[in-house]
Chains A and B, each alone.
Chain A
Amino acid sequence: MLTEAELVRIYRAHTGTLYAFVSRRVGGDRTLAEDIVQDAWLRAVDSWPRRGVPDHPRAWLIRVARNLLVSHFRRRRPTPVDPAALELEADDYRPETPRAAALVSWGLARMRRGQAALLEAFYFDGKSTRAIAEENGLSERAVEGRLRRARQNLEKRLRPYVSAEAAAAVSGEPPVEPVAALELSEGGGSNAR
């Protein structure tokens, strides 16, 4: 039986990682990140006493949190983002503002699991193509090809919501002159190594 002391031990060992995982995906939106983390832990408390603590509690929590995020983003309407804030093609781009992260997560929640997982690893976990290739037993070239197709797919889904005017209308501020517009050519660009 799961004791309170054991639960507290697991909680203290994994909450920081779980929170960081969620927070990166919501661009640091504290309210949303706390809601998701709380919900994931409450599910653990509901499930573990009956089914036992999983062999890898952190992996279990992350899987539940990911599902909660997908569910959250599938239910909401996306908020438009200024193209300057969304450089999906750049090798070192990370969606760091809550709005950009929300839009990317919204798009990922509408993509096939495999493609979404690849982009998630790239944008939110900061993994290089080499690291992704090693984890999945693929060649770097294969990962690059898959990433290119996944980015094209994401860009297609996000296109209607990437607009300086619409973003300004939502924020109530004048549009910013785009510094680097969302440019996703058919060939795509090289990925970080």
Chain B
Amino acid sequence: MQDRHEPDPRFVESLEWQLGRELRRAQRKSSRPGVRFLKTGSLIAGSLVLGAAAMGFSQQLSDAWRRELLETRLEVQLELAQQRVDLQLETLGLTREQVELGVRSDRDLMYHELQIAEAEANARIVELELEELRRSGREPLGKLSSPLVDGRDFVSEKIEVRMELARHHLDLVRDDERRTRQRAEAGLVSDEQVEARNLVAMQAELELQSLAQQLELRRAYLDSQITAVEAELKLLELETQNRLVLLDRQRRHFQRQLERFQTAMGVGSTHPTAAQMRARVAETDGQLRLAQAELEIVQRELERRSTSR
């Protein structure tokens, strides 16, 4: 007799077939030219600037009192972070009931879940920092070239926590994007809103890719394939490339907004709102030029290092 925790062979066979088909589809999609890189920031990285790094302590905590102070602060931070998780969990039931009553939307429930995931990630990061401090006796480190602690890679562990959150965020914004597209097809929302959601989804995708690539750089550094300076330079290159991708996308979005506004209102470029929109496009242009210049400097230095080897 089949064990109740064993899968049904028909299910296993049918899923295997489905996965093969999905893999071929995904590979056809990825062979098209597309976005390559990412940026860190916004929700994922921004929400996780935590712990010792934010405290301004020196790296070597030679004085016992400094270490004790930092440990106490991290303990309190952890307690507060866990309380935030508890609070979000406690109010989840209320959000769900409100969704059932029709007072709030499914989207609110999904965002509430994201807040829980964010609070959990925060708590986990502080927990890791506390553990690192206790094992190493120094301030927790977050650089790609930071050393292992007793053979343990706290840097990668923290990146993985952020990746978990980034995945959750991506799922949510993709779902949002899909719903908005469906509503646009039904004529309920404008193409502009679809475009805006699309931009958010792309940003979330880049954030996740960025973290995955940081993890790869970290591995390359630990395997001695790259030096500490190269690791930091490559990270900078990665971040700048992603900033460029996003800025370019934003610029096109702002430009289209401006054109739509001028067409719809029948106004020229001197109209105050149109002028404001134009200024936003110009500002993005400036940021793009800056990012390009930074990228050139970083890549030149990487090139110089690779040829001088």
A contact residues vs B (CB 8 Å cutoff): 1-2, 4, 7-8, 11-12, 15-16, 19-20, 23-24, 28, 30, 33-34, 37-38, 41-42, 45-46, 49-51, 63, 67, 71, 74-75, 77, 110-113
Within 8 Å CB of B209, what residues of A? 50-51
Within 8 Å CB of B116, what residues of A? 74
Q: Would you list 20 pairs from A and B whose C-beta atoms are within 8 A, ordered by A residue?
A: A1-B27, A4-B24, A7-B19, A12-B16, A15-B7, A19-B6, A23-B4, A28-B4, A34-B11, A38-B18, A41-B15, A45-B19, A45-B22, A50-B209, A51-B212, A67-B164, A67-B168, A75-B113, A110-B89, A110-B92
Among B23, B85, B92, chain A packs the most CB atoms within 10 A around the CB of B23
Known: A4-B23, A37-B7, A42-B22. 6 other contacts (CB 8 A): A15-B15, A20-B6, A23-B4, A34-B7, A41-B15, A75-B109
CA distance A51 to B213 in the complex (A): 8
Residue of B nearest to A15 (CB): B12
Residue of B nearest to A68 (CB): B171
Tell me the smallest distance from the CB of A98 to a CB of chain B, in Å: 10
Within 8 Å CB of A63, what residues of B? 164
Contact with A along B129-152 (1 / 0, CB 8 A): 000000000000000000000000
User: By the criterion CB–CB under 8 Å, are A74 and B124 in contact?
Assistant: no
CA distance A38 to B17 in the complex (A): 12
Within 8 Å CB of A46, what residues of B? 22, 26
User: By the criterion CB–CB under 8 Å, are A19 and B5 in contact?
Assistant: yes
Contact with A along B214-242 (1 / 0, CB 8 A): 00000000000000000000000000000
Tell me the smallest distance from the CB of B90 to a CB of chain A, in Å: 8
User: By the criterion CB–CB under 8 Å, are A2 and B30 in contact?
Assistant: no
* Closest 6 pairs (CB-CB, A-B): A19-B7, A23-B5, A28-B4, A20-B5, A45-B22, A51-B212
Contact with A along B104-141 (1 / 0, CB 8 A): 00000100010010001001100000000000000000
Q: How many residues of B contact A (CB 8 A)?
A: 35
Tell me the smallest distance from the CB of B240 to a CB of chain A, in Å: 21
Residue of A nearest to B124 (CB): A113
| Partner pick for B96 among A8, A49, A77, A111, CB 8 A cutoff | A77
Tell me the smallest distance from the CB of B56 to a CB of chain A, in Å: 29
User: By the criterion CB–CB under 8 Å, are B89 and A7 in contact?
Assistant: no
CA distance A158 to B123 in the complex (A): 24
Say yes or no: is B86 at the interface (Cβ < 8 Å to chain A).
yes
Tell me the smallest distance from the CB of B177 to a CB of chain A, in Å: 15
User: By the criterion CB–CB under 8 Å, are B15 and A37 in contact?
Assistant: yes
CA distance A140 to B218 in the complex (A): 36
User: By the criterion CB–CB under 8 Å, are A74 and B113 in contact?
Assistant: yes
Tell me the smallest distance from the CB of B91 to a CB of chain A, in Å: 11
Within 8 Å CB of B18, what residues of A? 38, 42
CA distance A42 to B89 in the complex (A): 28
Say yes or no: is B303 at the interface (Cβ < 8 Å to chain A).
no
Kindly identify, within residues 1 to 42 of chain B, every residue whose CB is under 8 Å from any CB belonging to chain A: 4-8, 11-12, 15-16, 18-20, 22-24, 26-27, 30
Within 8 Å CB of A110, what residues of B? 89, 92
Within 8 Å CB of A77, what residues of B? 96, 100
